[in-house]
């Protein structure tokens, strides 16, 4: 088994049974919730969690993802479906103590360990090894002229492996090798024996096979008959081994966020003169929710989005929005080519520089589009009054989940609050009255927490500590740097101007700290592809204005959609 290479003693765990066949494991599982961990012979010695659920024995292979060795961190991560753990023991304890399903497809919950009786055997069951050439044939004598290791069909008794004290728990199985070499079979050596030396006719070849890189586990797919595979829950998420075309970066979700950030920190931080403006909102991406050409506000897409958001609780939606906002702002997922082009390491620094004009326009466009989409979610509810009040409550809960101390996505918080404070939404007196009546806690949180917080952030005096904030509120600085005038009396405007500029300078200096805080919040997070796409700037623009209307000037598009929202608001609650 590959697991003991990480230095973890599985022999001390009562639920670990070592090499055990599927049939014997199923015989030990008597009641729903019974589980054990075994080393599967048919899966190359990988750890498998066997569990009985609803009268059937299920088997879940644990994927092992190898990491580059570095001080102070594990050499491998273990996962079933989404979340990864530094050890197999922590994975088992997390699922058992939290009563979490081992897979979403089966809903099986492991709650009662089957205690191992006796020591762990050194080999697989007799029925697995019976008929093996290693037990029935002696090593053949190869020809003198054949001097390559590929000519050896079987090796003799294997010499003592130097794999640490846990080597006794490793199953004796065929060692897979790449290339055209045959499989070298390790056979059990008698107790007390040592490595046998090769004869002179063997060319003094070393008995141990040379080290080969680990083979990437293959995906388990459904067969043509439509029947589920033996391990139906095996969908390992491993980095693609295919190369990427020149000029294209590999998707940022192929590697964990914290790994990508460590790679970035190792690079040199020398200054490079900027060559061109950088965009973090790539246009014309293929969409799984919209067709190549779409009209504004297609009912089918709106219905799909409503169901998609209802499936995720506010905390999950907040993390999705944080992920997309960090990419749109250039805080995470910035490629080396982009850093070289903009001359700095982060979009938080770029937006304060003269050649950050394009990024500032993109951030303003994103803020306005998300605010309009949030207002549409409320004004598009033509059903009962309680439905609109529930939508308001959902937006308030999302704003709370985006706030400092939670997800810490202040641009996302500003967009949601922009929707709630939009005149077409705030004028719905009966809807807000129903919110206070049916969802009092949400209404109080909006009035007493969110509105004062948003007012302070807009004035440049809100929280901006990288410990509690992952992405700072950049809209005031962006508006100021794009030449917009500050409202209010002259003396107050000057104070607000100084606070905003000071906050922007501090924000650029703390960009590495914000990057670390965002990566820490997204650690182990696996986004839903559809929900992630639904929060991107390009998707929201096409949803609101259609594939043709996106090309119109921004001022004209915003004015047109404001009129649409006003008409919807009047239909819901006419004046008088």
The SS3 of residue 550 is coil
User: How far is 440 from 433, CA to CA, in rounded Å?
Assistant: 10
For 23, the domain range is 3-113
List, in sequence order, every residue forming a beta bridge with 85; answer none if it has no partner.
Answer: 78
User: How far is 212 from 220, CA to CA, in rounded Å?
Assistant: 23
260 lies in a domain? no
What pLDDT tens digit does each residue of the chain (576 aa) get?
333 444 455 667 889 888 888 888 999 999 999 999 998 876 667 789 999 998 889 998 888 877 777 776 777 888 887 788 888 888 888 889 888 888 887 889 999 999 988 777 654 333 333 333 333 333 344 434 444 434 434 344 433 343 343 333 333 333 333 433 333 333 444 434 333 433 433 333 344 444 444 444 433 334 434 444 444 433 333 333 333 343 333 333 344 443 344 444 434 455 556 666 788 876 666 788 888 889 999 999 999 999 889 888 999 999 999 999 999 999 998 888 888 888 888 999 999 998 899 999 999 999 999 999 999 999 999 889 999 999 999 999 999 999 999 999 999 999 999 999 999 999 999 999 999 999 999 999 999 999 999 999 998 888 889 989 999 999 999 999 998 887 767 667 788 889 999 999 999 999 999 999 999 999 888 899 899 999 999 999 999 999 999 889 999 999 999 999 999 999 999 986
Position 211 scores a pLDDT of: 46
Listed as own residue / partner, the contacts of 459-462 with beta carbons closer than 8 Å and 24 or more positions apart are 459/496, 459/499, 460/496, 460/499, 460/500, 460/502, 460/503, 461/499, 462/410
User: How far is 95 from 72, CA to CA, in rounded Å?
Assistant: 25
417 lies in a domain? yes
Strands (E), 7-122: 16-19, 34-39, 47-53, 56-61, 63-66, 76-79, 84-85, 112-113
User: At which of 89, 113, 137 does a domain end?
Assistant: 113
CB atoms within 10 A of CB 234: 23
The number of distinct structural domains making up the chain is 2
Compute φ and ψ for 94, nearest 5 degrees: -65, -45
Angle between helices 314-329 and 511-521 (to 10 degrees): 150
Task: Assess contact for 289 and 533: CB atoms under 8 A.
Answer: yes
User: How far is 321 from 369, CA to CA, in rounded Å?
Assistant: 14
CA distances (Å), origin 163, targets 1, 41, 159, 168: 12, 20, 12, 9
pTM of the model: 0.58
Which tokens hold the place of 140?
A: 């053949």
Task: Assess contact for 432 and 386: CB atoms under 8 A.
Answer: no
Position 10 scores a pLDDT of: 62
Position 421 scores a pLDDT of: 96
Sheet holding 84-85, edge to edge: 63-66, 76-79, 84-85
8-state DSSP, 96: H
81 lies in a domain? yes
85 lies in a domain? yes
CA distances (Å), origin 124, targets 24, 368, 403, 575: 11, 63, 54, 79
Task: Assess contact for 172 and 123: CB atoms under 8 A.
Answer: yes
Task: Assess contact for 381 and 310: CB atoms under 8 A.
Answer: no
Which tokens hold the place of 57?
A: 């024995």
148 lies in a domain? no
Q: What are the residues whose beta carbons fall under 8 Å from the beta carbon of 104, sequence distance 6 or more?
A: 81
Position 170 scores a pLDDT of: 38
244 lies in a domain? no
Position 398 scores a pLDDT of: 96
Task: Assess contact for 179 and 14: CB atoms under 8 A.
Answer: no
User: How far is 466 from 540, CA to CA, in rounded Å?
Assistant: 28
Position 285 scores a pLDDT of: 67
pLDDT in tens, 318-335: 999 999 999 999 999 888
Compute φ and ψ for 124, nearest 5 degrees: -75, 175
236 lies in a domain? no
Output the domain CATH number for residue 59: 3.30.505.10
User: At which of 55, 80, 113 does a domain end?
Assistant: 113
**Which H/E stretch holds residue 537?**
helix 537-549
Compute φ and ψ for 47, nearest 5 degrees: -70, 140
User: How far is 203 from 137, CA to CA, in rounded Å?
Assistant: 22
Give 3-state DSSP helix, strand, coil % of the chain, rounded to 5: 45, 5, 45
Task: Assess contact for 175 and 184: CB atoms under 8 A.
Answer: yes
User: How far is 479 from 476, CA to CA, in rounded Å?
Assistant: 5
User: At which of 64, 94, 113 does a domain end?
Assistant: 113
Position 97 scores a pLDDT of: 85
> What is the full DSSP assignment across 464-492?
--TTT-SB---HHHHHHHTTPPPPS-HHH
Position 513 scores a pLDDT of: 94
264 lies in a domain? no
> What is the full DSSP assignment across 366-411?
HHHHHHHHHHHHHHT--S-HHHHHHHHHHHHHHHHHHSTTTT-BHH
8-state DSSP, 422: S
> What is the full DSSP assignment across 120-172?
PPSS--HHHHTT-HHHH-PPPPPPSS--SGGG-S--SSPPPP-S-GGGGGS--
Output the domain CATH number for residue 321: 1.10.840.10
Position 371 scores a pLDDT of: 97
């Amino acid at each position: 088994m590959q697991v003991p290479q990480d230095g973890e003693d599985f022999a001390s765990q009562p639920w670990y049974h070592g090499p055990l066949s599927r049939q014997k494991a199923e015989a030990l599982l008597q009641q729903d919730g019974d589980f054990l961990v075994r080393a599967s012979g048919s899966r190359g010695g990988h750890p498998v969690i066997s569990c009985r659920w609803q009268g059937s024995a299920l088997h879940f292979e644990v994927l092992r993802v190898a990491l580059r060795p570095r001080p102070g961190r594990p050499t491998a991560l273990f996962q079933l479906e989404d979340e990864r753990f530094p050890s197999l023991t922590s994975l088992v304890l997390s699922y058992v103590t939290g009563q979490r399903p081992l897979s979403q497809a089966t809903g099986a919950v492991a709650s009662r360990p089957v205690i191992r009786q006796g020591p762990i055997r050194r080999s697989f069951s007799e029925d697995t090894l019976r008929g093996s050439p290693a037990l029935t044939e002696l090593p053949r004598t190869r020809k003198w002229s054949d001097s390559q290791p590929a000519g050896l069909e079987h090796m003799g008794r294997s010499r003592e492996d130097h794999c640490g004290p846990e080597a006794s728990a490793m199953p004796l199985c065929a060692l897979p090798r790449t290339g055209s070499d045959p499989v070298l079979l390790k056979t059990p050596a008698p107790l007390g024996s040592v490595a046998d030396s090769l004869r002179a006719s063997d060319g003094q070849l070393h008995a141990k096979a040379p080290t080969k890189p680990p083979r990437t586990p293959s995906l388990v797919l459904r067969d043509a008959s439509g029947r589920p595979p033996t391990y139906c829950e095996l969908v390992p998420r491993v980095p693609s081994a295919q190369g990427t075309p020149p000029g294209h970066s590999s998707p940022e979700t192929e590697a964990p966020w914290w790994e990508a950030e460590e790679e970035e920190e190792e690079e040199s931080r020398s200054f490079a003169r900027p060559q061109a403006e950088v965009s973090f909102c790539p246009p014309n991406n293929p969409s799984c929710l919209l067709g190549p050409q779409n009209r504004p506000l297609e009912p089918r897409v709106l219905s799909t989005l409503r169901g998609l958001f209802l499936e995720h609780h506010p905390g999950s939606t907040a993390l999705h929005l944080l992920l997309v906002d960090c990419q749109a702002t250039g805080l995470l997922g910035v490629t080396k080519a982009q850093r070289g082009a903009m001359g700095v390491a982060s979009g938080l620094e770029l937006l304060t520089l003269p050649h950050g004009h394009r990024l500032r326009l993109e951030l303003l466009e994103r803020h306005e589009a998300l605010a309009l989409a949030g207002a549409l979610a409320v004004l598009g509810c033509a059903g009962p009054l309680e439905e609109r009040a529930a939508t308001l409550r959902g937006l308030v809960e999302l704003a709370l989940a985006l706030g400092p101390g939670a997800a810490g996505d202040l641009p996302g918080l500003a967009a949601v609050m922009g929707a709630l404070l939009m005149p077409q939404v705030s004028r719905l007196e009966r809807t807000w009255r129903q919110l206070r009546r049916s969802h009092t806690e949400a209404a109080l949180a909006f009035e007493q927490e969110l509105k004062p917080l948003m007012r302070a952030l807009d004035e440049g005096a809100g929280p901006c500590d990288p410990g509690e904030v992952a992405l700072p509120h950049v809209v005031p600085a962006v508006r100021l740097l794009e030449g917009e005038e500050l409202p209010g009396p002259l003396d107050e405007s000057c104070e607000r101007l100084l606070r905003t500029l000071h906050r922007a300078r501090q924000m650029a200096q703390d960009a590495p700290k914000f990057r670390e805080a965002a990566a820490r919040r997204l650690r182990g997070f696996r986004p839903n592809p559809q929900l992630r796409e639904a929060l991107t700037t390009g998707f929201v623009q096409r949803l609101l204005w259609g594939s043709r209307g996106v090309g119109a000037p921004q001022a004209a598009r915003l004015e047109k959609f404001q009129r649409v929202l006003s008409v919807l608001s009047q239909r819901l609650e006419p004046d008088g």
